[in-house]
Structure 1
Amino acid sequence: MKSTLPIASALLIMSSGLPGWAGEPDSQVSYNTVQVGDASVFYRAAGPKSAPTILLLHGFPSSSHMFRELIPELAETYRVIAPDYPGFGQSSSPSADAYDYDFATLATTIAGFTEALEVPSYTLFMQDFGGPVGFRLAQANPEKVEGIIIQNATIHAEGWNPDIVGQFAPFWENRTAETETPIRGFFAPETTRWQYTQGASLAHRINPDAWVNDQSGLDRPGNHEIQLEYLWSYQDNVAQYPAWQAYLAEHQPDTLIVWGRNDPFFLTEGVEALQALVPAADVHLFDAGHFALETHAAEIGDAVRRFMAR
């Protein structure tokens, strides 16, 4: 009788000759964690490891989850890495004794994260909180920055909505239980949803899972106190605006601006101020809100691909 291979072995031999069967494809998103100091940092990654890297830095109150649709748009050609900050998403929330929840510490953590993943250089994609993190990275090591992509993250005072400034100014000037009250309002479910829907002309494209996911993170025990510390330290970012403006003016990095023009937090005056610093910046304004990726991921992905290919 003729011998036959076990079915599993036969399938293995067959699969080795079929495209896409031999191992996990580079464009497949992987979900990982790496220890950086006292923080366990969760991240999403996809794309060829030998390709240029895009480091995706998320905003408040989201996580790498906000890039779930953009990552597949880019991963065929580029290495895409999106970490969750400590206190956000699936990353750990060290005690306040072990971790300082401020932006200088956060930037140090993300710098350590890139070193742990052996990422020597990258294009920064920065949204909201990602701006203060990314510009600290760029200012500290400009030689590592191959390009900058800014999505609704201002580094100019005139880029802020005055109504939002009016809520934060008393808190920053004198932190008390009374001045904390308006800030705690940013942790409410209706506010989280509002951040996604306000100004979104294509609201039917917004997946409700986005704000539900964010709210579940905010509602974890102790997380309000963590977020208060981050928001308290945001005043240090404003103090750094002149230094970050000087960085752009001096280094003139390749810059792409993709911006939801109806953002209730950051106004298009911030875009104009960025253009004045980097006249060659490629600018795309979308009829979207603060989280423009929720409604325009394909359009923003196209703009990023064209920018990266230049």
Structure 2
Amino acid sequence: MRPLLTAALAASLMLPTVSAAAAPPSAEPQTVRHHTVQVDGVDLFYREAGPKNAPVLVLLHGLPSSSHMFRRLMPLLADRYRVIAPDYPGFGASAAPSPADYDYSFDRLAVTVDRLLEQLRVERYSLYVFDYGAPVGFRLAVAHPERIESLIVQNGNAYEEGMGTLWDPLRAYWQDPTPQRSELIAQKLLSLESTQWHYLHGVRDPAAIAPENWLLDQALLDRPGLREIQLRLLHDYGSNPGRYPAWQAYFRKYQPPTLIVWGKNDPIFLAPGAQAYLRDLPNARLRFYDTGHFALEEDLVPIAAEIGEFMDRHVKPRRD
């Protein structure tokens, strides 16, 4: 397999792991293992940690990231949960087939993740959805409500209130994807400046956010063929607001236990979008954090503790 990055760049992207002292008191860091399997005609990469017979938590990433965003969270939860984090096709270490060979749509991403979980013999699971992970995960929930044990929502939208004026260029692109608009969207959302902005806007301490985050994401985005792939998904994101009523109906009918952890300074997915979940999920727990889009980068430990308490309360953990 062709290496994704040069050895020098790969070495520069080594990130510190969370020490046992930094983890919640009940958790000890666990080994995260890395696998690639063929799913839905694509070589799909995923990370996995925790006991095979433990309740499952599936972590779904967004743009411009990959399962790399969960690298420090997984060891903190894997002492009593089986944690699985895939890279979608065209992201991270998964293959990036051409659009002629793979339909880059949110419907297809959901099918691919569904088939991965079936291949791994995962019959019931909780979902952590972030950014793109929300429309992928909520499609799974609507298709298989009996499989969903709980939801953890982190800066992922299911309500119009979460989408402000920052979305206006994309709304125009959804309506009329001209070459000029494609170029504008690529400059705004697929450039190094944009990727860095995703990580730094709204954080308390920019100096605490490692630059390797956006350097790795951008190195992967800059691979040949990735621009067209990402533009197709950005255009297909326009299919998601029309699904919001169906997702909201799922929330109202099934009332899955839900934890909402939200970087309140995120200009992409606004805080009112987090509060809107409470209309349909009145028993959900909502916690805001004084940070931006990638809340785990600045508030990993309190969010991990919140997830652990929530999962222990609503999903019976493995006890040895």
- Picking from 49, 52, 55, the partner of 1:52 is 55
Equivalent runs, 1:184-263 vs 2, <5 Å: 184-185=186-187, 186-263=189-266
Q: Which of these residues, 22, 27, 31, is aligned with residue 34 of structure 2?
A: 31
**1:88 partner SS:** coil
Q: 1:61 aligns with which of 45, 48, 64?
A: 64
Residues 48, 83 of structure 2: 8 Å contact kept: yes
Secondary structure of 1:191 counterpart: helix
Tell me the equivalent position of 1:181: 183
The residue correspondences of 1:148-187 to structure 2 (distance < 5 A) are: 148-162=151-165, 164-185=166-187, 186-187=189-190
Aligned to 1:54, what secondary structure does the other structure show? Answer: strand
TM superposition shift of 1:150: 0.2
Q: 1:123-159: per-residue Cα shift (whole Å, max 9, x none)?
A: 0000000000000000000010000000000111111
Q: Tell me the SS of whatever aligns to 1:105.
A: helix
Q: Unaligned regions of 5+ residues in structure 1, if any?
A: 1-24
SS for the counterpart of 1:126 is strand
| TM value normalised by structure 2 | 0.87
Q: 2:88 is matched by which residue type in structure 1? A: Y
On the 8 A contact 1:128/1:153 being kept in 2, the answer is yes
Q: CA shift at 1:37, angstroms?
A: 1.9
Q: How does 1:82-121 map to 2 (within 5 A)?
A: 82-121=85-124
Instruction: Select which of 113, 131, 136 maps to 1:133.
Output: 136
SS across alignment from 2:240? helix
Q: Deviation at 1:96?
A: 1.5
What amino acid is aligned across from residue 109 of structure 1 in structure 2? T
1:75 matched to 2:72? The reply is no
| Aligned residue in 2 for 1:14 | none
Q: Which amino acid counterpart does residue 98 of structure 1 have in structure 2? A: D
For 2:148, which of 116, 141, 145 is the aligned residue?
Answer: 145
Map of 1:296 onto structure 2: 299
SS, match of residue 199 in structure 1: coil
**Comparing 182-191 and 25-34, the one that deviates more:** 25-34
Moved over 4 A (4+): none
Does structure 1 residue 267 correspond to structure 2 residue 273?
A: no
**Post-superposition CA distance 1:46-66 (Å, at most 9, x none):** 001111110000010100000
Find the aligned partners of 1:205 and 1:251 in 2 and give their Cα distance.
40
Distance 1:215 1:304 in 2: 29
What is the CA deviation profile of residues 278-307 of structure 1, one whole-angstrom value per residue up to 9, with x for unaligned ones?
A: 010011100010010111111110000000
TM-score scaled by length of structure 1: 0.90
Q: Equivalents in 1 of 2:231, 2:191: separation in Å?
A: 13
Contact 1:38 1:94 in 2 (8 A): no
Does the aligned pair in 2 maintain the 1:26–1:48 contact within 8 Å? no
> Does the CA-based 8 Å contact 2:98-2:229 persist in structure 1?
no
Q: Which moved more, 1:195-204 or 1:251-260?
A: 195-204
| Of 118-127 and 200-209, the range deviating more from structure 2 | 200-209
Gaps of 5+ in 2: 1-27, 314-320
Tell me the distance in 2 between the aligned counterparts of 1:111 and 1:180.
30
CA contact (8 A) 1:26 1:47 kept: no
Identity of aligned residues (%): 47
Q: CA deviation at 1:26?
A: 9.7
SS at the partner of 2:184? helix
Q: Which of the pair has more CA radius of gyration? A: 1
Q: Give me the CA root mean square deviation.
A: 1.2
Alpha-carbon separation, structure 2, partners of 1:215 and 1:197: 15
**Contact 2:29/2:75, CA 8 A, preserved across alignment:** no
Q: Residue 43 of structure 1 contacts residue 81 of structure 1 at CA under 8 Å; is this kept in 2?
A: yes
Q: What amino acid sits opposite 2:41 in the alignment?
A: D
CA distance in 1 between partners of 2:42 and 2:76 (Å):
29
CA–CA separation in structure 2 for the residues paired with 1:169 and 1:75: 39
Deviation of 1:203 (Å): 2.4
